[in-house]
Amino acid sequence: MPRISPYPYDAATGTRKDLMDAVKTQFGAVVNMFGTVAHSPAALKSMLGSFGALSEGRLGAALGEQIAVAIANTNRCEYCLSAHTLLGKKAGASAETMEAARQGRSVDPRTQAAIRFALKVVDTRAQIEAGDVDALRDVGFDDEEIVEILAHVALNLFTNYVNVAFDVDVDFPSVKPVRVAA
C-alpha cells in the first residue's frame, strides 16, 4: 500500500496538469512514480527536466539504463529496477546485459567502469578518490561523460528514494532486487 497515492490525473489543473499530460504523452499513462511526484509540480518539473536533459546526453540510452538498474538493485528499488530493465531492453540492451547490470557487472570494460564508478558513488556517498575518476578516463570517458555519469547517479537516487520511501506500486513487469556477492 503506497504511503502517498498518485495525484489523481482527473483533478490536475494548471502546471500540474501540463506536466502530467507530458508524462501521459511519453508513457501512454501517468505511471505511478510520476503520479506520486505530481503532488509537487516543482518536484515533477525537476524530475522530468533531468530525464529530458540526460536523454540528450552523450552516454546513450542503453548505458544510462544499465547504470539505473545497477543503482536500483543496490537501493532495493523494485519500481526503478522493473522500469529501467524494460527501458534498457527498449534501448537495445539484451536481457543478459540488463541482468549483468543488475548484478553490477558488464562484459564491456567501458560499461563496467561506468557501473563500478556509479555504485562506488552510491556506496560511499560520493566520497570517491582521484583514482576512481582516472579509471573512467583510462577506458575512454572524457570529463563531460564523467559528469554525466554522476548526473545519472543523482537522478536515480531521487527516483529510487521516491519509490522506496513512498512504497509506490510497481506498474511495470516486476523485477525483484537481488543480493549481489561482494
Query: pLDDT, tens digit, for every residue of 126-155?
Result: 999 999 999 999 999 999 999 999 999 999
| Domains of the chain and CATH, by start | 9-55 (no CATH), 61-165 (1.20.1290.10)
Beta carbons within 10 angstroms of residue 138's beta carbon: 12
Judged against a pLDDT cut of 70, whether residue 62 lies above it is answered with yes
Query: For 14-38, what is each residue's pLDDT tens digit?
Result: 999 999 999 999 889 999 999 999 9
How confident is the model over 42-62, as a mean pLDDT? 97
Q: How big is the CA angle at 171 (ends 168 and 172), to the nearest 5 degrees?
A: 125
171 or 182: which carries more pLDDT confidence? 171
**Residue 106 pLDDT:** 98
Residue type, 125: R
